[in-house]
Amino acid sequence: MYPKFTPHDLRRSMIIDLIDVGVDLVNISRLVGHNNINTTAVYDRRLDARIQSTWGNIHIAYLSRFLERQGRGQ
């Protein structure tokens, strides 16, 4: 059985897709009728992705350093 979709699910998908292709938040906010750009900014997950990427890079750097100290590094 397929999950139930609501109009808000479609709206959310559209906002996220517009953000992903580079449309600025001001224009998206106007398009969807948000009075406050912060309402639109809630849908912007780019910062979350950058934070995850940064943590991944930090983990790799420290793991490499740890393995080198243990004599197992490349």
Q: Which pLDDT score, from 0 to 100, does residue 21 have?
A: 92
pLDDT in tens, the chain (74 residues): 777 888 888 998 999 899 889 999 999 999 999 999 999 988 887 666 666 666 666 667 677 777 777 775 55
* Cα 55 from Cα 62, distance rounded (Å): 11
Confidence at residue 68, expressed as pLDDT on a 0 to 100 scale: 79
What is the pLDDT at residue 20? 87
* CA–CA dist 55, 66 (Å, integer): 16
- What pLDDT is recorded for position 70? 77
Q: Contact 28/15 with Cβ under 8 angstroms?
A: yes
